[in-house]
Amino acid sequence: MPPSIQALTHTYFRHNKRFPHVWCPGCGNGIVMGALLRAITRLELEKDEIVLASGIGCSGRMPTYLDFNTLHTTHGRALTFATGIKLANPALNVVAIMGDGDATAIGGNHLIHAARRNLNLTAIIINNSIYGMTGGQYSPTTPFGSTTTTSVYGHIEHAFSIAELAVTAGASFVARSTVYHAALADQLIEQAMMKPGFAVVEIISNCHVQYGRRNKIGNAVEMLTAFKEQAVTVKKAATMEQKELQGKVTIGVLADRDLPVSTDEYKKIRERARAAQEES
Amino acid sequence: MSEEIHARRLLQGNEAIVQGALAARCRFFAGYPITPASEIAEQLSVRLPAVNGTFIQMEDEIASIGAVIGASLAGGKAMTATSGPGFSLMQENLGFACAAEVPCVIVNVMRGGPSTGLPTSPAQGDVQMARWGTHGDHSIIVLAVSSVLDSFIMTVRAFNLAEKYRVPVIILSDEVVAHTRESVELPLKSEVKVVDRIAPGMPPDWYKPYQEDARGVPPMAAFGDGYRHHVTGLVHDQDGFPTQNPQEVEKFHQRLSMKITKGLPDIQLTRKFHMDDAELFVVAYGSVARSAMRAVEEARMAGIRAGLVQLITLFPFPRRTLTPYLQQCHSVLVPELNLGQISREVQRVNQGQCTVVKQNRVDGRLITPQEIYNRLVKLSSGRLS
Ligand code: SF4
C-alpha cells in the first residue's frame, strides 16, 4: 500500500512555514513532488541525508516546501552545486530538481557534462515544454509549430528530447514518465536514487496555464489525458515503426548501465596521490 | 613526529597560493583552465587528493564556482582560481555566495582585458569588477597580493576572512606575481593561524540559519549535520525562506552590509612605509607596490619626503587608513596597470584635501620604479623644504 498523502505531508512538508505554495492549481509539479516523496519513503532514507537542489523556475520552488537539506540555486546551475555537495560529502543523497529550460537551455552544458562525468547524483527534470514562471516563452522542448509568448507566429525551432540527450551524454540511468503515470514516476525515481552513477528521470508535465491553454490542448485534466494517449512503453515502442512513433512519448527505462562512478573512482585517486606523496 | 624547520624555497606566486590554501585547510577546488592561473589548478589536482581533499575540473567557470559553493555548503573549505574572462563568468554565482553567505575564496590572476585581452601580460583591470561585478548591492572582500610570500599569507588570510564573515573573498594577483619565482621562507604550520566558521551550538529545532545577532554573522550548519535548512539566492528571512516583506528585505540587506562594516579594523589590511613624516605619498597594490617601494626608497635618498601606503585590502576600501595622510600630504600618486580604478577610490575619499595624481599603464608592461620615482621628483619640485 502506498503511503497516504496525509502521511507524506505530515512527514515531509514544512507545513507550518511555507504554505500556501506558489504553483497554479492543477500544476504537474505537485505530482512530481508526491512521486519523489513516495520514492524516498520506500527507500527509507533519513531526511538528514537528503539534499534537494533546484534551479530557477516554477520547479525551482519545490525544495522550499520540503524538510530536507534544501538548496535553491541560480538558473540552470543546480547540477553544479549538487556536484560540489556530493564531492564534499559523498554520504549525502543528492537530488537535483530542474525544469526543461533550466536543465537544457541555460543549464544544458552542465547536464551533458554531469551525465558524462557520472557522479552518483539523481536529476529529475520536469519537462512542461515552456517557461512557466516568466510567462510562457518557448523553451528547448517546445514542439515545432506551437504558440508561445515569444513565438506567436508559430515556433520554428526543433525540440530536444531530454531523455535521449541524457542517454547519448552517457548517464548511467535514464528514464521517462509523465505526470499522468504518477505511479511509474515514483518507481523510476526510486530506481534512479538507488542507481550508482548519474541518473536522469524526465517527467513530462503540464503547464496548462502557460502552454495548454495557448495551444488549445486545454486544462490540466485535458493535458493529462493527452499524455495518457501519447505515452507508449519502451517495450511497446521497440515493436513499433518509426512512423507510428511520431507524436508519441516513450515511457519507462531508456538506459540502465553499469559504468565507473566518479565519486568511487576518486577514492582510488586519493590512494594514488597518498602513495605518490609517501614515495617522494 | 617530524620536526618543523624553516626552509628557504624557490616558489612562484601561484605555487604559494596553493601552499597557502592547503595551510588554511582548503579541501576542495573546482576550476577551469585559464592562463595565467592554471598552475593553481594543476598543483591542487596533485596535492588535494593526498590530504583527503577533492579536485575537479568543471565544464566552465560558472560550474566551477557553483561546485565551490556546493562544497562549502557541505562543510568544506573551497576555492577556485581563474583570470579575467573566467572571473566574468563567475559573477552570477558570486552573487549567490554573497546573498546566501557561503564562505569561499576566488583567485583572479589578472591579465590584460577586456575580453580575451592580453592573456600573458600583467594588468590590474579587474579591480572594480571584483568589487561590483555581480549585480545588486552586496558586500565583498577583495585582497591584492604583491609578492610570493604575500600570496601565501594572504591566501590563508582570505580563507580566514571568508569563514569568519561568511562572505566570498577575492584574491587579485597579477601575471607578474603569479609567475615570478622568489626565494621565500614560508611560515611553519604551527605559525599559521587558521579560522573555521562557527557551527551552530543550539538544538536543530532552534536553529535559524540567518538569525541576526550582535556579530551579524550567523553560525553556519553544513548539509548533513542534522540542521536541515533552506538556502536560496532569493532575499530571505531569518529562517532562510524567500520573503518580500519590506521590513525583512531591508533587514537582509542591512545585515549583509553591517557584518562587513563591523569587521573593518580586522578586514582592512595595509602596509605603510615612511609615512610618519611624508609630504607626498604613493598608494599602490599588487606588483606595482613593489616598484613603488623601490621608488620611495630612492626618493628618500634624494631628500624627498615620500611615503607609500600599500593596499592589501582593496575593498572595503581602507578609507580610515588614508584619511590622515590625505590631510598630512600635499600630493598622492596612484600608479596602476589600468586607466585609474583605485585612483577613483582615492579621489572619492580625498574630499579635496590633497592633489590626487594618476599614473597608468595599459600596454601590457610593468610600471618601473624609475617611472614612479620620476613622478615623485616632479610632484615634489618646488615643494622641497
Ligand atoms: S505556470 Fe505552469 S509550471 Fe508554473 S505553476 Fe503554473 S502551471 Fe505550473
Q: A127 CA distance to ligand 1 centroid (A)?
A: 11
Pairwise CB contact (< 8 Å): B62 & A69: no
pLDDT for res B384: 46
Q: Residue B383: pLDDT above 80?
A: no
pLDDT for res A204: 98
- Cis peptide bond N-terminal to B219, omega within 30: no
Q: What residues have CB less than 8 Å from A153, skipping those under 6 apart?
A: none
Confidence of residue B3 (pLDDT cuts 50, 70, 90): low
Q: A193 CA distance to ligand 1 centroid (A)?
A: 26
User: What percent of chain A is predicted at pLDDT more than 70?
Assistant: 99
pLDDT, mean over chain B: 96
Q: Is the CB of A24 under 6 A from ligand 1?
A: yes
Q: A207 CA distance to ligand 1 centroid (A)?
A: 5
Helices and strands (DSSP H and E) totals, chain B: 13, 15
- Mean pLDDT value across residues B53-62: 98
pLDDT for res B64: 98
- Mean pLDDT value across residues B12-27: 98
To the nearest whole Å, the CA of B73 is away from the closest chain A CA by: 7
Alpha carbons within 13 angstroms on the beta-carbon side of residue B365 total 5
Q: Whose CA is nearest to atom 1 of ligand 1?
A: A132
pLDDT for res A132: 96
pLDDT for res B1: 45
Q: What share of chain A is helix, strand, coil (3-state, %, to 5)?
A: 45, 20, 40
pLDDT for res B170: 98
To the nearest whole Å, the CA of A151 is away from the closest chain B CA by: 28
Confidence of residue B43 (pLDDT cuts 50, 70, 90): very high
Q: Check if B62 contacts A (Cβ < 8 Å).
A: yes
Q: Residue B2: pLDDT above 70?
A: no
Distance CA B345, CA A153 (A): 51
Could you tell me if B80 and B162 are in contact, meaning their C-beta atoms sit under 8 angstroms apart?
Answer: no
pLDDT for res B385: 43
Q: Is the CB of A205 under 6 A from ligand 1?
A: no
| Structure-block grid coordinates of residue A47 | 531526511
Confidence of residue B352 (pLDDT cuts 50, 70, 90): confident
Residue of A nearest to B57 (CA): A117
State the residue for C-alpha cell 556530493: A86
Q: Residue B212: pLDDT above 90?
A: no
- Mean pLDDT value across residues B71-99: 98
Q: What is the pLDDT of residues A224-248, one digit of tens each?
A: 999 999 999 999 999 999 999 999 9
Confidence of residue B321 (pLDDT cuts 50, 70, 90): very high
User: What percent of chain B is predicted at pLDDT more than 90?
Assistant: 95
| Structure-block grid coordinates of residue A71 | 538548496
Atom of ligand 1 nearest to the CA of A220: 7
Q: What is the pLDDT of residues A186-207, one digit of tens each?
A: 999 999 999 999 999 999 999 9
Q: What is the pLDDT of residues A61-81, one digit of tens each?
A: 999 999 999 999 999 999 999
Residues of B in contact with A48 (CB under 8 A): 224-226, 228
Q: Are strands B141-144 and B168-174 parallel, antiparallel or unpaired?
A: parallel
The B residues from 197 to 256 touching A (CB cutoff 8 Å) are: 222-226, 228-234, 239, 241-242
- Cis peptide bond N-terminal to B114, omega within 30: yes
pLDDT for res B190: 93
Q: Which of A97, A98, A133 to mutate to test the pocket of ligand 1 (most atoms within 8 A of CB)?
A: A133
Q: Residue B251: pLDDT above 60?
A: yes
pLDDT for res B114: 95
Residue A255: helix, strand or coil by DSSP? strand
Atom of ligand 1 nearest to the CA of A211: 2
Q: Check if B68 contacts A (Cβ < 8 Å).
A: yes
State the residue for C-alpha cell 591584492: B144
Q: Residue B382: pLDDT above 70?
A: no
Compute the radius of gyration of chain B from its Cα atoms: 21
User: What percent of chain B is predicted at pLDDT more than 70?
Assistant: 98
Residues of A in contact with B79 (CB under 8 A): none
Q: Check if A71 contacts B (Cβ < 8 Å).
A: yes
- Mean pLDDT value across residues B94-120: 96
Q: Residue A149: pLDDT above 50?
A: yes
Residues of A in contact with B74 (CB under 8 A): 84-85, 88-89, 92
Which segment of A203-212, B94-103, B111-120 scores lowest on mean pLDDT? B111-120
Distance CA A174, CA A171 (A): 7
Residues of B in contact with A64 (CB under 8 A): 230, 232, 241-242
pLDDT for res B234: 97
